[in-house]
Structure 1
Amino acid sequence: MRSLEALLETEDPAWPLVREWLGSASNPVEVLPRDEAATGEVLHQLQVTTRSPLGAVAYETGGLLVDGGWLRILGGAGPRMRGNLATWNALGPHPAVASTRGVLLVAHDVVGGFFALDGGALGEGRGGAFYFAPDTLRWEDLGRGYSDLLAFFLGGDLAGFYSAYRAAGWSEAASRLSPDEGFSLHPPLWTAEGKDLTRVSRRPVPMTELLALQLDLARQFDGDES
C-alpha cells in the first residue's frame, strides 16, 4: 500500500476545484467537519490520491449533506457522520457493512438508495457510477463517473431524480434524521402498493440496516428468477 504522504497530492490537488463546485452549487449543501487524523486514515485505506475529487472529498471533509440531508455523500471521518468511505466499503479495522466486492459505495439517500462506483461487479470495472434504486432493487447505470456524479449532486435536478420517491413532508422529516439513518418504508417502494406514496409509512433505521436488507432481497429475487 502507498503511504499517506504519497497520496497527499501537493502540486495539483483537487480540493480547490471541489471547493469551487461547492461555492457555485445550486442545491443546498453542507460540508461536514472532519477529523484530520482520521480522514488521513480513510484516504490511506482507499489508496486514492487527493489529486482526484474522490480523494479530496475523503481527506478534506467529514462528508457532505445535500438537499437538507436527503442525500449524503460519503467523505472521511468526522463527528457528525459516523459512516465514511472506508467503513462503508469494509476497509480497515472497523467496517460498518459486509464487504461489497467489486463496488465502491460513495453516497446514500434517506429512502434507501445507494450510489457506487463500479469496480467490476456491475459492468466493466471502469469506475462508472451506478444507483441501487429502492423501487427496483437493481443497480442502474448512471452513465457518468465520480466527478460528474458529484457535479450532479451539487447542481443537478434532484427534485426530478427523486420525484417518484418523495411524498409531501418527507423532506422535512429527512432533515431531522442523523446522516447515518434512513427511512424504512412500508409497504416498500418496490411493491405495487408502495408506488402510492400517500399510503407509505416510514420509520428511522440505520442506513447500514437498509443496505443489508435490500441487497439480501435483491439476491433472493435474483435466485427466484434463475
Structure 2
Amino acid sequence: MTPQGPDASPAPDASPAPDVEPELGSGLDIVAVPLELGDPAWVFPEVTGAEVEAVRHALAAADGHLRGLGAHVGAVAGVHYGCQRFDGRALASLLGVLELDNGFTFVTALYFPRRCGFDLRWGPPWVVEADITRYCPAPADCGGHPLADVSSEHDTPLAAARAFVDATGWLRQQALARPRSGWLSPVSDPACAALPRPKPAADR
C-alpha cells in the first residue's frame, strides 16, 4: 500500500456514533449509512473494547482524506457504510466514491469478499481497494480505463482500518499531484474501441 504523503490532512477526532438507529436495507437491498451513524461492528463483528475506538478513529481519518480529495476537485466526497440486514443482523462494507462529470471516478472500499449477497460469513480476510478510472463520454460504453489502483488483504480489524486510511490517503495524493483543472477538463481516449469511428470515404 502506498504510504500517505507528508502533507496529508490530520485525522479528525473520532467521536462515538450517536444514539440514532438508521434505516438499514433488508435482504439484497443495500442502504448507504453516513459514517457517523454507523457501527464498526457491522464490518468487524468481533471488535470490542479500546479497539472499537481505534477503528472509529481510523475510519474518521479515511473520511478526512476523501473530503480533502473532494475539496481539491470541487466536489463532495466521504466514507459511508453500504449496509444490509439479514435476520436482524447488519452486514456492511465501507465505501467512498467520487464521480466527476467528465468521467474521472475515484473509488475506495473495505469489505469482506462474500460469495453472494446472502453469504453471512465475516472476515478475515478483509480487502481494501482504491482505484482511479476514466470513463469515456457517451455514446461510448467502454467500461472505463483504469489509471491507477492499490489493493491489499488484512487479518485484523485494526490492520484493515489502517490500510483503509492508507488507501484513501493514496487517492488524495494522486488527486493533489494534478491541479484541479487537470481533473475537470473534458477528456476522452481517442483510441477507445467503444467510441464511434468515422466511416471510410469509400463507404460514404
Shorter-chain TM band:
0.3 to 0.5
The structure with the largest helix share of the pair is 1
| Greater length-normalized contact order (CA 8 Å, ≥ 6 residues apart) | 2
With normalisation by structure 2, the TM-score equals 0.39
With normalisation by structure 1, the TM-score equals 0.36
